Amino acid sequence: MATRTKQAEKRASLKLFDQALDYGVLARLTGFALRRASVIDFARFSEAIGDATITPLRFSLLELVGQNPGFQQVQLADALGLSRSAATVTIDYWEQRGSLERRPDPNDRRSYGIYLTREGETQLKRLEQLVIEHDRWLTRKLEPAERATLGELLEKICAR
């Protein structure tokens, strides 16, 4: 039992990337650096939120619904680069928690508009604060100007 705990403990400390090793071309790859940073972000996200089931993707969807009430599932899926089935599952998650609801679209009976519930609005406001705090933690080593620059450069990468 002690052994298992130790193994889990060791992994939990997440001391990525060993100084003793030569990373070769990896050290020159933007893609590798992006992945590293993303892993760090992801690893602390749920912890910062205080709920292991709330992932970055799930938060993103809730935020998107909050900002764009009434949009179709298909639009939300596209906006996040998800399949329709993945969007269904993610929406199910929040609906089961009472944070959002599907309302039949009066103009197209195949589809629903997705809306926050009253509970969802409260929840989202709470999460926004925690996520913003977490993001500040993630970028705590950067000056405000550097953070802005990073945002612009990443934006350029994503622009088509």
Residues that bind DNA in the complex, under the rule CB under 7 A: 1-8, 11-12, 53, 55, 57, 72-74, 81-86, 88-92, 102, 107-112
* Closest to 128 in 3D by CA, of 45, 64, 63: 63
Q: Please state the closest distance from residue 95 (CB atom) to its own copies, in A.
A: 20
Fill in the DSSP letter of residue 21. Answer: S
For residue 6, the partner it binds in its own copies, DNA, none, with Cβ less than 5 to 8 A by kind, is: DNA
Q: Which of 79, 101, 102, 111 binds its own copies (CB under 8 A)?
A: 79
Report DSSP letters for 66-103, one per residue. Answer: HHSTT--HHHHHHHHT--HHHHHHHHHHHHHTTSEEEE
For residue 134, the partner it binds in its own copies, DNA, none, with Cβ less than 5 to 8 A by kind, is: its own copies
- Angle, in degrees to the nearest 10, between helices 30-49 and 56-67: 80
Binding mask 133-152 for its own copies (x = CB under 8 A): -xx--xx-xx---xx-xxx-
Q: Which is nearer to its own copies, 71 or 94 (CB)?
A: 71
In whole angstroms, how far apart are CA 56 and each of 45, 96, 127, 150, 155?
Answer: 7, 18, 11, 19, 18
Between CA 138 and CA 157 the distance in angstroms is: 20
List of residues contacting its own copies (CB under 8 A) = 11, 14-18, 20-26, 28-42, 45, 56, 60, 63-64, 66-68, 71, 75, 78-81, 83, 128, 131-132, 134-135, 138-139, 141-142, 146-147, 149-151, 153-160
